[in-house]
Chain A
């Protein structure tokens, strides 16, 4: 996968976005198929979300993004709606792992909420953690994704990485 991403911020959220906020496949009777999950992604807090993300873009969020349940439908649904990367002040730990395992780039970046607005164009370097805000002409330093996880993502995700080792 590409480690250099350029796109626009299409959604912005505050703190404590839980996996219950992101996806409740059972409540809404959706299967694990990514396209089914995408249709109900963020339904409880942002019903327009799938439509807004459809062209493909970034989301920016506050602290503790992805807290709560370990359900992997959360990153699967986000990726399937068109989310190309998530920049957040902080991620909940299970979500962070789940997202990278399926090659949904997530970058922790203190100051992201204050320094990035809806519509801004960002250039994210996953290896260095540098986030260039082209709209504002500013640079934010995120926490780089550890090298061994980048290697896993380059292989195409955890399952593909595992297959290489069998």
Chain B
């Protein structure tokens, strides 16, 4: 019996020939990431131990949720992060240069086959590059800082074969929302979600990062995609050394095989208040919108903004809407500047922000009031997450979000000029 990608990575990290789903193993951690808020909860507890970090060069600290801080509490977290990085000599420290889940792949911290843990549930993102990556809590990160390892239950793997041809204006986000509607918010609980099929193979790295980012919305421990030419081309200049081909064995064991044909897939929308409460755009056209968010670790990459700009180019956004444009990293911000995308969004009347998490997790910078409706390219629409419990969040692709900004209501991006 062969092994899946996830089993292979965990076996290597546990110094084992083979591992089987259900086994508990201690794995060595290659990279440990903290974001500012949940890092700030871990740092004082680690200081109290009075020991050195197991390997400070394997730690990447990010300030992205409070970037920059809007309250005294947030300012306190930022100070806690800066002091910790100084006192422990953390050299990989990114202060307000973007969202952790964009910085790590972009700056070359994600290598195929690596084990990466982070104090953020969307750490699943890095599976797009053939790594095993998962979210942990702050206390658990204290253990990792001390020991450099972590116990994990080897997950069963669900293989998702995505076949067909994507229609124009239909994006990786739409594919992932469709998958969530099929397996539900707990359908992959404790499991690995491995994406394959022709659509995955043809998908850009930006799209693959979106798929793996939202694996956790199905409860998955990790999302993962095999290493291929697209992976190698993304890693060129970012990561040194030879890339081993990393894919599941033909006789690997899957707990479930899910076939998804996306030939006729239209833009998808997750209605309030669950990422799995998904309908085709046709069922919600006309829903009025107050705020549009294009950004975050799910929908704030260059491809996302190029797609949005195609629809917004030369137009003004609806007077009824505020449209937040929040690049996921400083590099993306610069690329948008060079390509003229920032000009397109500024001329259209959008609110353009520095790279950060924005209002996605209800921390700051665009919270919703009572009765307001937001169309968001982000990953979660739980009640009250982005502000008022009386607000509603519809999750959609950057294209559908841009279309809503122009129309002032949910609309099919394919019906707009530029969307054909």
Contacts and interface: CB of A to CB of B under 8 A. Distances in A.
A48 interface: no
B139 interface: yes
B77 to A, nearest CB: 9
Interface stretch (A91-99, A111-119, A125-133): A91-99
B361 A69 contact: yes
Interface string B134-148: 011111101100110
Contacts of B1: none
A69 B384 CA distance: 13
Nearest to B120: A70
Contacts of A92: 186, 189, 219
Interface string B189-213: 1100000000000000000000000
Nearest to B274: A16
A94 B146 CA distance: 20
**Range, interface on chain B:** 35 or more
A20 interface: yes
Query: Which among B45, B140, B147, B219 has the greatest number of chain A C-beta atoms within 10 A?
Result: B219
A68 B382 contact: yes
B49 A94 contact: no
A83 B40 CA distance: 25
B143 to A, nearest CB: 6
Contacts of B190: 93
B186 A27 contact: no
Interface stretch (A3-11, A51-59, A134-142, A157-165): A157-165
Contacts of A163: 49
Interface string B115-147: 000011100000000000001111110110011
Given A29-B71, A90-B189, A166 B49 contact: yes
Contacts of B151: 148
A27 B139 contact: no
B139 A159 contact: yes
Contacts of A101: 137, 139-140
Interface in A96-113: 97-98, 101-102
A101 B45 CA distance: 13
Contacts of B219: 64, 67, 92-93
B358 to A, nearest CB: 13
DSSP class of B's interface residues: helix, strand, loop or mixed?
A: loop
Given A44-B383, A68-B382, A90-B189, A166 B119 contact: no
Interface in B71-123: 71, 73-74, 119-121
B361 A29 contact: no
A63 interface: yes
Contacts, number: 119
Contact of A72 (B38, B74, B382, B385): B38
B62 interface: no
Contacts of A20: 361-362, 380, 382-385
Nearest to A74: B137
B346 interface: no
Contacts of A16: 185-186, 274
B38 to A, nearest CB: 6
A64 B276 CA distance: 13
B37 A97 contact: no
B15 interface: no
B356 to A, nearest CB: 13
Given A44-B389, A68-B382, A158-B143, A94 B136 contact: yes
A1 to B, nearest CB: 16
A32 B139 contact: no
B342 interface: no
B145 to A, nearest CB: 10
Contacts of B361: 20, 26, 69
B45 A159 contact: yes
A157 B143 CA distance: 11
B143 A162 contact: yes
A24 to B, nearest CB: 6
Interface in B151-173: 151
A146 B219 CA distance: 21
9 contacts: A26-B74, A26-B363, A29-B71, A68-B380, A70-B120, A72-B137, A92-B186, A162-B142, A163-B49
Given A20-B380, A64-B189, A90-B186, 19 more contacts: A18-B380, A26-B73, A26-B361, A29-B71, A31-B73, A45-B383, A63-B186, A67-B219, A68-B380, A68-B382, A70-B136, A70-B137, A71-B38, A72-B38, A94-B121, A97-B137, A162-B146, A162-B147, A163-B49
Interface of B: 24, 37-38, 40-41, 45, 49, 51, 65, 71, 73-74, 119-121, 135-140, 142-143, 146-147, 151, 185-186, 189-190, 219, 221, 274, 361-364, 367, 380, 382-385, 387, 389
